[in-house]
Chain A
């Protein structure tokens, strides 16, 4: 795919869902992927167990 003129100016750091990174990369935008996802929300019981064991 030819490089789009407007994408030449873009410098993107994508955090999380990698589809956005993939899409920008295909358009030859300068993009860096940061692998991240929101922390899992645990119940109080599980949080206490994890605090005790990990």
Chain B
């Protein structure tokens, strides 16, 4: 085979891994028991690797929050000293088997949703939503307070154990059927999980009611489950991340395995290039603010790893499935369909598991190919939330992965595989 044939063959393997992945929610465990390298005095963050001094305020605050939450420091000053001393190890979430939504701050004792790809045995940990009051306070939106810390402990000790008992009794809950059905019901599974939430919560409610636990604990756990918006988001991210890990280091493949930002830089990884990052300045999003008081001056450049779902053919790739999400940017149904059709031009193939009525029951594109991105000049669309520079969510919309990432990756790939 010549080089082009080797690439085509490898890319077929890569998309087969994604299409044939079988993500199953199997457990809830402390992060340190599942995430590789997450030891004591270690903090995981979203985006490509970055030094503490170069981090945006949200990440810096997250690092400090992590030290306080784990009891490594008694106050902010001590936490800063500890971090500056070099004792705290920092790991990029997409350099290990997890995914960092938003700020992506994760430490060893945080309770995590565990998802296993039954096709490969790969296990990943994904951070559960923090409930209706705090949503993404600790991990996501870069906020921290004694109440948020207390909520994390309540989640770990009160809300999540009943869910863990249900999933263990069930022997795992398959996620692909939920994702597939939700794509026919208006979700694109990045910004919108309304249908997936309904399907998922309906699926486990009866099993929750069968648990032999104190009634108040059951009510509290059910309240957390039912009231938390976008509860299924972390499951979609975990499913996507598990599929992507099966492609890391796949020789000759030009398929993207990771995309993420840290508010300063945006980075991608490519299957055939292993864990090497290809970075560019982080881009701004366009979309709709939650209040007219916000402007672009309040907005942070792209932060977070949740766009791992786009690598698996969801979110921005699936715009046609969710015109309501695209309408946040003033787009019509026709525009949403065009977005997905444009994404087809930069992807290897279509995923027969994910059928969309608005595409006249055609399937969603999957497998972003760096060669096609550079060739067409089409920067892949990724959906997501807009961050306030001071912390918190101020809107939702879309960003485009910088072309510079793909050009750098293409050059490095050509150098590595030249014949």
Binding site for B on A (CB under 8 A): 18, 35, 40, 42, 45-46, 49-50, 52-54
Supposing A53-B7, A53-B371 touch, asked if A46 and B377 sit within 8 A by C-beta, the answer is no
Tell me which residues across on chain B come within 8 A of A45, comparing CB atoms. 411
The residues of B that contact A52 with a CB separation of less than 8 Å are 3-4, 414, 418
Contact, CB under 8 Å: A49 / B410: yes
- Is residue B215 within 8 Å, beta carbon to beta carbon, of the partner chain? no
**Residue pair A46, B376 in contact (C-beta under 8 Å):** no
Q: Is the CB of A40 within 8 A of B376?
A: yes
A46 touches B3 (CB 8 A): no
Show the binding face of B for A, using Cβ within 8 Å: 3-4, 7, 254, 338, 341, 371-372, 374-377, 407, 410-411, 413-414, 418
Alpha-carbon distance A39/B410, docked complex (angstroms): 19
A50 to B413, CA, bound (A): 11
Write the nearest CB–CB distance from B282 to chain A, whole angstroms: 23
Interface contact A53-B4, CB-CB below 8 Å: yes
Q: Which residues of B contact A54 (CB under 8 A)?
A: 4, 7, 371-372, 375
Complex Cα–Cα for A49 and B414 (A) = 7
Of all chain A residues, which has the CB nearest B376? Answer: A40
CB neighbours (8 Å) of B407 from chain A are: 46
Least CB distance from A47 to B in Å reads 10
Distance between A35 CB and nearest chain B CB, rounded to angstroms: 8
User: Smallest distance from the beta carbon of B357 to chain A beta carbons, Å?
Assistant: 21
Interface centre among A18, A40, A52 (most CB of B within 10 A): A52
In the assembled complex, the Cα of A49 lies from the Cα of B7 at a distance in Å of: 13
**What are 18 inter-chain pairs, A to B, with CB distance below 8 A?**
A35-B338, A40-B376, A40-B377, A46-B410, A49-B374, A49-B410, A49-B411, A49-B414, A50-B375, A52-B4, A52-B414, A53-B7, A53-B254, A53-B371, A53-B413, A53-B414, A54-B371, A54-B375
Contacts of A40 in B (CB 8 A): 375-377
Shortest CB–CB separation between residue A18 and chain B, in angstroms? 8
- Collect the chain A residues with CB atoms within 8 Å of residue B3's CB: 52-53
CB distance from A51 to the nearest CB of B (A): 10
User: What would 19 more interface pairs be, CB under 8 Å, given A35-B338, A54-B371, A54-B372?
Assistant: A18-B338, A35-B341, A40-B375, A42-B374, A46-B374, A46-B407, A46-B410, A49-B374, A49-B410, A49-B411, A49-B414, A50-B374, A50-B410, A52-B4, A52-B418, A53-B3, A53-B254, A53-B371, A54-B4
Chain B nearest CB, measured from A14 CB (Å):
14
Distance A1 CA – B365 CA, assembled complex (angstroms): 37
Q: Which residues of B contact A42 (CB under 8 A)?
A: 374
CB of B363 to closest CB in A, whole Å: 19
* Residue on B nearest A48 in the bound complex, by CB: B414
Chain A residues whose CB sits within 8 angstroms of the CB of B341 once the complex forms = 35
Residue of B nearest to A18 (CB): B338
Measured between alpha carbons, how far is A54 from B3 in the docked complex, in Å?
Answer: 9
CA distance A54 to B413 in the complex (A): 12
Rounded to whole angstroms, the CA-CA distance of A53 and B10 in the bound complex is 13
Q: Is the CB of B371 within 8 A of A50?
A: yes
**When chains A and B are docked, how far (Å) is the Cα of A45 from the Cα of B374?**
12
Distance (whole angstroms) from the CB of B292 to the closest CB of chain A: 27
Of chain B, the residue at the smallest CB distance from A42 is: B374
User: What is the CA–CA distance of A26 and B414 in the complex, to the nearest angstrom?
Assistant: 48
- Chain A residues, CB < 8 A from B414: 49, 52-53
Indicate if the CB atoms of B376 and A53 lie closer than 8 Å: no
Chain A neighbourhood of B377, CB < 8 A: 40
A54–B410 Cα gap in the complex (Å)?
11
By beta carbon, the residue of chain A nearest B418 is A52
Residues of B within 8 A of A49 (CB): 374, 410-411, 414
Distance between Cα atoms of A53 and B406 in the complex (Å)? 14
A40 to B376: give the CA distance in the assembly, Å.
6
B411 / chain A contacts, CB cutoff of 8 Å: 45, 49
